[in-house]
Amino acid sequence: MKSWIDELKLLNIGKIEINVSLKKYNTYKIGGKAVCIIYPKNIEKLITLMKFIKQNKLKYKILGNGSNLIFSNELFDGILIKLTEFDNIHIFQNKIKVGAGYSLMKLSRVALKNSLTGLEFAAGIPGTIGGAIFMNAGAYKSDMGYVVQSVKVLTPDFKIVELENKELNFHYRTSFFKTHKDYICLEAIIRLEYGKKEKIEELMKNRLKRRLESQPLNYPSAGSVFRNPKDMFAGELIEKCKLKGKKIGGAMISNKHANFIINYDDASSNDIKDLILYTQKKVKEKYHIDLVIEQEFVNWE
């Protein structure tokens, strides 16, 4: 066991899991092991942890639900941080203050319960608030950029500041946090509008039905692999390349939705990565379009 783990335990930051299989912590169900995963109890403990990481020059990553990650099969030789304890929620009129570790799908149901509209798009997105803000998760022509009023963050120099929507640089599947990975989302204020509960519920049900009908949810995946090019659909381009059903090892391009790669038969991390790069290459050859990968490769360096 690494000596820094013993030191870390003495800091009483929160629950620590040692020598953890990453297959349990991402929706592709792939990857090697992590030296440790830690669950800070609160912001003060998180700051203590980040100071420890900096002092010891350790590798780290904030881990949400792992619903957009592709872990390598190598050991993650550092600390994975899960903000599961950051799950506070407070509703005041048409705004919701919510912790970074709270479930986005659960939040959409809270909004419904309180007759608040604007989060219907999130009813089927299996991420945390922090993860959804990081990648500006969205669906049905809406995303987090439309509903996030502000975010409380921990800066690289351990200050807690509030960033307003206009400072968060929300664009299609990206945000301020993607280019400033040493800033940590702690909490967000979500601003919604009042609506009729029956209409909100109907819209959520319709979108969940569409999701079930069009996406291969019976296999491990991480959602859409590629961003849609302007005025095009990545899935349509992949389908026109006749790649539906294409397999590499245990990874397969879904027959149901061509922009989904599924863990069809105990796929390795390399199977997933190789199939993504193969797909990207084939679309480039046929259409001269560089598909941008929406998912994040972790621990491949």
Given 108, 254, 269, 294, the catalytic residue: 294
Catalytic residue list contains 198:
no
Among the CATH numbers 3.30.465.10, 3.40.47.10, 3.40.50.1110, 1.10.8.50, which is that of 89-201?
A: 3.30.465.10
Is 294 annotated in the active site? yes
Percent of the chain with pLDDT over 90: 96
Numbered ranges of CATH 3.30.465.10 in the chain = 89-201
Q: Which of 108, 224, 254, 269 is catalytic?
A: 224
Cα–Cα distance, 198 to 202 (Å, whole number): 6
Q: 236-262 burial, b for 16+ CB within 10 Å, e for fewer?
A: ebbbebebeebebbbbbbbeebbbbbb
Q: What is the location of CATH 3.90.78.10 in the chain? A: 216-298
CA atoms within 13 Å, Cβ hemisphere of 78: 17
pLDDT beyond 70 at 219: yes
Beta pairing class for 89-92 and 95-99: antiparallel
**How far apart are the C-alpha atoms of 84 and 92, rounded to whole Å?**
23
Report, as an integer, the average pLDDT of 141-167: 97
As a whole number of Å, the CA-based R_g of the chain is 20
Q: Is the pLDDT of residue 1 over 90?
A: no
How far is the first Cα of the chain from the last one, in angstroms, to the nearest whole number?
Answer: 23
Catalytic: 7?
no
User: Which CATH number fits the domain 3-81, given the four candidates 3.30.43.10, 3.40.50.700, 3.40.630.30, 3.40.50.150?
Assistant: 3.30.43.10
Instruction: List the CATH code of the domain at 216-298.
Output: 3.90.78.10
Output the CA angle 281-169-187, nearest 5 degrees.
110
In 192-298, beta strands by DSSP E: 193-194, 247-248, 251-253, 261-263, 296-298
What tokens appear for 41 in the block?
């109890």
Q: Where in the chain is the domain with CATH 3.30.43.10?
A: 3-81
Average pLDDT over residues 33-53: 98
Model pLDDT, residue 3: 87
* Catalytic annotation, pick one of 72, 150, 173, 207: 173
Residue 148 parent element (H or E): strand 148-154
Q: Which residue has the tokens 């709270």?
A: 102
Kind and range of the H or E run holding 15: strand 14-21
pLDDT, average across residues 164-172:
97
Q: Is the pTM of this model over 0.75?
A: yes
Q: What is the pLDDT of residue 115?
A: 98
Q: Is the pLDDT of residue 133 over 90?
A: yes
